[in-house]
Structure 1
Amino acid sequence: MSLTTALGSALSGLKANQAGLDVVAGNVANASTPGYVRKSTSAVASVAGGATTGVRTTEVKREIDLQLQKQLRTETAGSAYASTRATFLDQLQSLFGTPGGEGALDALVSDLSTSIDALAASPDDPSARAGVLQQAGLLAQQLNAATEDVQALRGYAEQGLKDGVDAANEALSTIEATTRAIVQAQGRGASTADLEDQRDMAVNTLAGLMDIKVESLAGGDLRIKTQGGLTLYDNGASTLAFTGGGAPMTAGAAYAPEASRSTLGTVTLTSPSGYSSDLLANGGLRSGEMKAYAELRDETLPEAQTQLDELASQLALAFGSTATAGETIDGGVALATQGAQPGDRMTLAYASGGAQRTATIVNVTDPSRLPLSGGLIGVDFASPTAAADIEAALQAAGAAIDVAATDDGFAFTSGAAGVTVSGGSSRVTAAGLKDGTAALPLFVDGAGGDIYSESLDGGAQRAGFAGRIAVNPDLIADPSALVETTADAAAGDQTRVNFLRDALSGDRTFSGDAGLRGSSSPFTGTLSEFAQGIIATQASASASASRVADGQALVVSSLEDRFSSASGVDVDEEMTKLIQYQTAYSANARVMTTVNDMLQQLLNIL
């Protein structure tokens, strides 16, 4: 080897070790920087004419486990989803309280029952009457407040969706800018390691917002799609927008895929080519923070509202309506509907083809609401053609039953062989305080005193009723109606007081959409037991969500530790490398000094 070759080799060694020192210094400096991936260089021999002429360094590369990174992103989406749900359900559970706790719904129902017992013991005592009205007012106020709080949580969830859209757009914009820079840098042979770190940080942010899958392409490019196949980035970033909505968050506000039916906003994805898609429709989002917000706003919290509305509805109906068993007649049953309000109903039991069946016929005076869904039959009980309309509807449902109008309702008799009418009942809501019936409209719909009868006219009256339920203002003005069924009622008549007491202690069948036992097996029990069931259901859901969130957090933490071990900076290891590079650098410098001395000696000889 000539002296000049030796000098060149030593110089290349200096440059290689200098590059290594630069990388080590960068690693140490960024040891605590979020998203930083450890960098490294490798050295290869320079060969010319079959002889080694020095050393050269390859490009700076990232020490990253791509499979582990992919798994971490998937679990990050799941953790963000679970954590968001757990946070909201914990707040929801705190609104409902604990069974029997101060201000809890079941405790307030129990307090109302106690006040009615006191009224039964002293029906003429003004303080006992005032006590019933006070407890009824406290219960109504708690239902109003709970509704307001549930709708506020829905508003926060919708705001979370809006914020998620902004964060996703910012991440996609960063991904687009860094990807273009990476492609350009790779084209000219420059290092892209730091740019890839920046892009990965943006991709990780996106992974927390929604479920994504990332595909690496040639030349440093990539493609990002949702798990459902919608493109988020492919040679350009798609744009997310929160569209629609703007209406106040109420119990009746709901999302629907059809814009004409939706009163809440949705997330629209628009690709660079102009293709648009609703991310909330048809399972467009499957995980991540945004999925949790959409599910909370459109499913979880509305179900909680339905539970409150069902409790309020059954409270009003328990006190304000009378259920009357049908009168057996030749070949069937007669059901009384005199004085029926919109929403009052008849339930008919019959056998057909050897199977026991029931039909529910609802008083609907608004023709635009017909036909009803859910197997209900809607008819205007006061219509001259009501009997014929009911008979036609039963026939359409496969029940050959003859229907005739009576002085106070309708008579149902078997209309064909194989069909047997076995019984039925009717529910009629009282409209006045002293109309001679035991039922009393203790609770009404709104401060204006509208009668609550679970009407379907103009929309379902039950929807949001917990936010409107109030003590009847006419009853507040005349507390004697808590006891007296007529203006000239006999002193000491316990009929109404006993009715009110039985209303709270008797079993009722609650709607299956309240989510306590499912639509196929609706909850049956007292009002207090239903209130306890609501509280227990929310507590159980909150505890379950917390366990899932904790489990997901543990998985993510474990993966982060593994990822950090594989791709993070170990300062001790880097300092060892630093010493190695320093030693090699010094050795190459000594070679250069020695060669220089030898060259000087040769020049002196010459």
Structure 2
Amino acid sequence: MTLSASLASAQSGLNAASRGAGVISANIANALTEGYARREIRLGAQHYGTVGQGVQVEGISRQVDALLLRDLRLAHAMAEGQDLRAAFHGRLDDVMAGPGNLAGRIDGFDAALIAAAALPDSDTRLADLLVQAGSVIDGFRSSAAAIQSARMDADAAIAVDVARLNNALDGIARLNADIAAMGAGRRDSSALQDQRQILIDQVAAIVPLRSLPDAQGRVALYSTGGAVLLDMQPRELGFTPAGVITADMTLASGALSGLTLDGQPLRSDDGGPLAGGRLAANLAIRDVLAPGAQDLLDAMARDLVERFQDPALDPTRAPGGPGLFTDQGAAFDPADMVGLSQRLRLAPAADPAQGGALWRLRDGLGATTPGPTAQGILLQELRTALNAARIATGPLPPAGRSLSDLANATITTLSAQRLQAETSAGFAMARAATLEQMHLAQGVDSDRELQDLLLIEQAFGANARVISTVDDMIQTLLGL
């Protein structure tokens, strides 16, 4: 090797050491930066023709375990979805089983019936009976309002996530183009790949996905259900939020929006192409879980109304007329059960606030004049109707139950659903946390980087020593 070749080789070593030091310093500086992947410098032998001469920097590589990252994204999507479902069940269970729950209100109404039947001439006890009946209605209506509020929250969250997903896909497409252009120019695109990874992670929390890289450094994105989200150009997800949602509004009826992909309708259930993440969980809450809870509540409201609407209970009422609990003042129609829990009202005939009279609780809703004040037979019959074992129509397994037992069975069902959802969420979150720790362990280790920096320092010193030695040799030659 000639002296000039020795100088060139040492100079290339200095250049490589300088680049390596820059990479390590960037790693240490970004140790806590979200989305930053550790870099390593790639070195190779430098050739001029068939002669090797020094070292060259072939590029900067991002150290990412693609399989672990894929599993982590899927785990995060599952955890996000399960956590939302568990939060919904917890919210519903708190309303249905918490203080002032329906079972307690029904028991309070039962106690008021006992007190009024024991002293039927007491206007105070009749007034308390009316208050307790109103409390039962308030319990139904507040529970139904909580269910519809959860549906509206889910609908709004769907709209937000769809907008975020579309924006993220647009950003990923732009970064794809920039990364491909930089790769063609043999420039380092690691910083852009970090930005792209952050955006892909955002999409993966909304919709579980898989990414496929191509030779130019671009990535295509597909949902685990098979929908193409990005392939050269991003596809647009569509959704129209409803704003206000009532019990009768469903996806099947067309009153609520489903999802579209480039204008084409998508299945929105758990078997659809976007199933498994946050978006699917909110769709399930809006279209399946909350309506299922509403069905339980409406079935219980129907049981309440039908117990007191029985024609044999109060002979003073007109045939087909409503009982003490009404469907917005009218008799209940079995074909119109959806949303009944929100439409419950007290019979106007017994409510002084609606122009009625308290004594009709004792003498009959159709009575035109007060009867004997000491007669509490109807009040006793009302209590018998409340506590009669009756098979209710609805999602619960058929069994003869009193209204209080039906309320407790409904609460038990909802509590069991909460427990199951929280168990699933706990498992999903634990798995995601474990994979997250494994992913973080592959990040920047400052101690390791400092050790590598010492090696680079030694290499830099050695190459500098070569240059110094060659310079001394040249000076010796020049001094001859």
The Cα offsets for residues 41-64 of structure 1, whole Å up to 9 and x where unpaired, read as 132222456654211122111111
Greater RCO, 1 or 2 (C-alpha within 8 Å, sep 6+): 2
Tell me the TM-score normalised to structure 1 length.
0.74
Task: Name the one with the larger helix percent.
Answer: 2
Distance in 2 (CA, whole Å) between partners of 1:267 and 1:51 is: 62
2:189 paired with 1:200: no
| Contact 1:40–1:60 (Cα < 8 Å) also in 2 | yes
Shift in alpha-carbon separation, 1:450–1:247, aligned structure 2, 3 A:
farther
Q: C-alpha displacement at 1:587, in angstroms?
A: 1.7
Question: TM-score, normalised to structure 2's length?
Answer: 0.93
Percent of aligned pairs with the same amino acid? 28
- Whichever residue aligns with residue 242 of structure 2, its letter is G
In structure 2, the CA distance between the partners of 1:187 and 1:49, relative to structure 1 (3 Å rule), is: closer
Larger deviation, residues 170-179 vs 37-46? 37-46
For 2:400 and 2:444, locate their aligned partners in 1 and report how far apart those are by CA, in whole Å: 61
Structure with greater proportional strand content: 1
Cα-to-partner distance string for 1:207-235 (whole Å, 9 max, x where unaligned): 11012222222221222122222211111
AA aligned opposite 2:333? E
Distance in 1 between residues matched to 2:462 and 2:279, nearest whole Å:
58
Q: Distance in 1 between matches of 2:196 and 2:479?
A: 59
Q: 1:322 to 1:11 in 2, by over 3 A?
A: same
Matched with 1:269 is: 261
Asked if structure 2 preserves the Cα contact closer than 8 Å seen for 1:255 and 1:263, the reply is: yes
TM-aligned CA deviation for residue 598 of structure 1: 2.2
In the alignment, residue 347 of structure 2 is paired with which amino acid? N
1:442 maps to which residue?
324
Q: Which runs of structure 2 are paired with 1:145-224 in the superposition (5 Å)?
A: 145-224=142-221
* Structure 2 residue 461 is matched with structure 1 residue 469: no
CA contact (8 A) 2:166 2:237 kept: yes
Mean alpha-carbon deviation: is it higher for 153-162 or for 219-228?
A: 219-228
Secondary structure at the residue paired with 1:512?
coil
Please tell me whether residue 529 in structure 1 is matched to residue 405 in structure 2: yes
Q: Distance in 1 between matches of 2:224 and 2:230?
A: 13
Secondary structure in structure 1 of the residue aligned to 2:237: strand
Indicate the residue corresponding to 1:112 in structure 2.
Answer: 109
SS at match of 2:234: coil
Instruction: State whether residues 303 and 393 of structure 2, in contact with CA within 8 Å, keep that contact through their aligned partners in structure 1.
Output: no
Distance 2:289 2:13 in 1: 65
Corresponding residue SS for 1:470: strand
- Any residues of structure 2 matched to 1:149-548 within 5 Å, and which? 149-243=146-240, 245-246=241-242, 248-256=244-252, 261-270=253-262, 276-280=264-268, 283-322=272-311, 434-435=316-317, 441-446=323-328, 449-451=329-331, 453-456=332-335, 460=336, 462-476=337-351, 477-485=356-364, 486-487=367-368, 489=371, 492-513=374-395, 516=396, 521-548=397-424
Hey, what does 1:86 align to over in structure 2? Answer: 86
Amino acid at match of 1:204: D
Look up the SS of the partner of 1:9 in the other structure. helix
Cα drift, residue 122 of structure 1 = 1.1
Does the aligned pair in 2 maintain the 1:313–1:454 contact within 8 Å? no
- Stretches of structure 1 that go unaligned for 5 or more consecutive residues are 324-428
Letter of the 1:65 partner, please give it.
D
Say whether the 8 Å CA contact 2:210–2:221 is kept in structure 1. Answer: yes
Matched residue SS, 1:220: coil
Q: Distance in 1 between matches of 2:43 and 2:88?
A: 54
8 Å contact from structure 2 (residues 266, 272) kept in 1: no
In structure 1, distance between residues paired with 2:174 and 2:268: 27
Give structure 2 stretches of 5+ with no counterpart: none
Following TM superposition, by how much is the alpha carbon of 1:157 offset from its aligned partner in structure 2, in angstroms? 0.3
The 1:475–1:77 alpha-carbon spacing in structure 2 relative to 1, beyond 3 Å, is: same
Q: 1:114 and 1:95 mapped to 2: Cα distance?
A: 22
| Partners of 1:138 and 1:444 in 2: CA distance | 14
Q: Does 1:577 align with 2:452?
A: yes
Q: CA deviation at 1:236?
A: 0.5
- Structure 2 CA distance, aligned partners of 1:440 and 1:84? 41
SS at match of 1:252: coil
Deviation track 1:53-91 (CA, whole Å, cap 9, x = no partner) reads: 211122111111111111111111111101111222221
Deviation at 1:277, TM superposition (A): 3.1
Note if contact 1:40-1:61 (Cα within 8 Å) is conserved in structure 2: yes
Q: What SS does structure 1 have at the residue aligned with 2:245?
A: coil
- Inter-partner Cα distance in structure 2 for 1:490 and 1:103: 35
Offset of 1:187 from its aligned partner? 1.7
AA aligned to 1:280 is S
C-alpha change, 1:183 and 1:84, in structure 2 (3 Å) is same
Give the match for residue 386 of structure 1: none
Conservation of the 8 A alpha-carbon contact between 1:269 and 1:279: no
3-state SS of the aligned residue for 1:56?
A: strand
Question: Displacement, 1:37?
Answer: 0.9
Question: Which amino acid in the other structure matches residue 44 of structure 2?
Answer: V
* 1:8 matched to 2:8: yes
Paired AA for residue 533 in structure 1: A
Kindly state the Cα deviation for residue 97 of structure 1 after the two structures are TM-superposed: 2.5
AA paired with 2:324? L
Aligned-partner Cα distance in 1 for 2:171–2:91: 34
Alignment check: 8 A CA contact 1:509 1:525 kept:
yes
Instruction: Give yes or no for the alignment of 1:560 onto 2:442.
Output: no
Matched residue, 1:603: 478
| Alpha-carbon spacing, 1:232–1:279, altered in 2? closer, same or farther (3 Å) | farther
Per the TM alignment, residue 603 of structure 1 is displaced from its structure 2 partner at its CA by: 2.1
SS of the residue corresponding to residue 60 of structure 1 reads strand
Alpha-carbon distance in 2 for matches of 1:194, 1:131 = 71
**What CA distance in whole angstroms lies between the structure 1 residues aligned with 2:195 and 2:82?**
26
For 2:186, give the aligned amino acid. G
* Secondary structure class of the residue paired with 1:218: coil
Q: Measure the CA separation in 1 of the matches of 2:243 and 2:44.
A: 66
Listed one character per residue, the Cα deviations across residues 228-251 of structure 1 (whole Å, up to 9, x for unaligned) are: 2221111110011213x5362111
CA separation of 1:279/1:28 partners in 2, compared to 1, >3 Å: closer, same or farther? farther
